[in-house]
Amino acid sequence: MSFDGQLPPKTRLLRAAAELLANSGGAAVSTRQITQLAGVTAPTLYHHFGDKEGLFDAVVAAGFEEYVAGERDFAPSGHPLEDIRRMWDNHVQFGLNQPELYLVMFGNIRPESRPAIVADAEALMEEMLNKAAVAGQLNVQPREAARSILAANVGVTLMLIAETAAERNLELSTMTRDAMIFAVSADQASGTPEDSGKSSVVVAAIALNAALQASHSDQLSSSELKLFLEWLHRISNSSTS
Amino acid sequence: MSFDGQLPPKTRLLRAAAELLANSGGAAVSTRQITQLAGVTAPTLYHHFGDKEGLFDAVVAAGFEEYVAGERDFAPSGHPLEDIRRMWDNHVQFGLNQPELYLVMFGNIRPESRPAIVADAEALMEEMLNKAAVAGQLNVQPREAARSILAANVGVTLMLIAETAAERNLELSTMTRDAMIFAVSADQASGTPEDSGKSSVVVAAIALNAALQASHSDQLSSSELKLFLEWLHRISNSSTS
DNA sequence: CACTTCATATAGCGTTGCTATAGGTGCTAG
DNA sequence: CTAGCACCTATAGCAACGCTATATGAAGTG
């Protein structure tokens, strides 16, 4: 029941903290519980991690790598928007599998402390959306799309975590997911008055922009490129009233 | 700088807790800080609120009433979907104005403890969406729509709170908002392959369903009504593959 | 006046995160 | 082989935490 094996104390502390965090059921986890389970005394913890939060950050970082690994496994299907869907589902599943870890990562966000991890997740999704943009499937800038989709993804996951496993309805996830993806995708019926109806030149501009940034083309001088990109940006944002 | 006025200790505790919570900047707030600011000793707190969490719940309840009051002020514009938009914006604004309170309400959700407040917010939005459904403007059941929109709303607000006030870009909010509302609304161009393209009979069924539940019609016996509603439900869900 | 009830205060318990200090370990240098 | 030197861990304990057993005062009721 303890981690008294021959592993180094640092690893034992990490595993003990992860296990207690996962099984605490929302209750607070004390450093004494952790050090006792790890078979170690208090100063060892502070020698290696400086802080209780330092330890938790390390656990979160490990959890995040696991999350990222899961996201990357799905990469190359040829249909970027389909991949986004799978990223979404993987995100939700990760949150439901490790709710405590997820809440530490995405729920307890404070203005100055945590957004590094969120930024990483954002970058991951933006990267995927970039492929969609290059393929001319995007309605808006990849960065804006990524932020928007991720925000909805987090919100849905938090709501599902808050529900008991019995009444949990994953349709909420798929419905919101498809709504968000549809909203940023280019293949909408044109002529809709409210939100879609972006002219195809906007889609083309976004695609060109993404392609340019990906290829590091040096057909234009850097100053020319800068101006050119600015124009593209203006075109592709022309629909925001 | 303290609440030593002639107010009753219970009120002073509430105000002191609210102020410390609002100005703590994310740091933990101790009962000793609260009782000192309120000019009261520890047992008084436990006499009135039983618990530290009891006090915080009371603060949250007060904050929630403020929130609900803000939501209700906007009610009657005649355009339900426009009202939903304003509810969304009001929600975001509440979160940005009182980030600490908001995080306690929507960020620290634990599976078994908190969803009462979330359920209230959900009901509020569903009520509004019901009007949209009666007017034939809804693509999905009001309850599902409310859950989906609220989840996205919370996600966006959390993401905006996590950013520093300087880099905060409210376009994320409006974009996500319009995407969600468009996704549940009936006035989409039909014929889109992926997400929309629901036949108008579905919209009509949802509208009729909402109207029936609102009017408590007694033209049918209760058992007949039950069966009838079940059929309607089946029709209006016929698009979920 | 005696009596109950409510509200606040005194003092302190057990636990928390964390640390000043010291001791043990394995290494390379002489 | 010993001296010195990092490195890592343990003993012991501090201040702050949430909370409470107990006592005291104030207010209303017979």
A29 touches chain B (CB under 8 A): no
Mutate to test the interface with A, among B129, B154, B238 (most CBs of A within 10 A): B154
Torsion angles phi and psi, residue B138, rounded to 5 = -115, 145
Max mean pLDDT among A186-190, B8-12, B14-18, B162-166 falls in B14-18
Give pLDDT, residue A85: 94
User: Rounded to the nearest 5 degrees, what angle is found at the Cα of A187, between the Cα atoms of A184 and A188?
Assistant: 80
Any idea what the Cα angle at residue B157 is, between residues B163 and A101, rounded to 5°? 80
In whole angstroms, what is the distance from residue A154 CA to residue A92 CA? 8
The backbone torsions φ and ψ at residue B236, rounded to the nearest 5 degrees and listed phi first, read: -75, -10
Mean pLDDT, chain A, rounded, equals 78
| Contact: A153, B155; criterion CB under 8 Å | yes
Q: Do A112 and B183 touch (CB under 8 A)?
A: no
What percentage of chain B exceeds 90 in pLDDT? 32
B176: nearest CB among A108, A112, A151: A151
**A119, B81, B206 from B145: Cα distances, Å:** 28, 12, 12
Find and give the residue nearest to C7, measured CA to C1'.
Answer: B44
Across all strands, nucleotide nearest B31 (CA–C1'): D18
Residue B52 has pLDDT above 50, yes or no: yes
Closest CA in chain A for residue B192: A189
Would you say residue A235 has pLDDT above 60? Answer: no
Place of tokens 């709170």: B161
From A172, A190, A195, residue closest to B148, measured CB to CB: A172
Residues 145-204 of A with CB under 8 A from B: 147-148, 150-156, 158-159, 161-164, 171-172, 175-176, 178-180, 182-185, 187-196
What per-residue confidence (pLDDT) applies to A219? 55
The pTM (predicted TM-score) of the whole model is 0.78
Q: Hey, which of B27-41, B101-115, B121-135, B146-160 has the most confident mean pLDDT?
A: B146-160
Top-confidence residue, A226 or A79: A79
- Minimal Cα distance from B117: which residue of A? A162
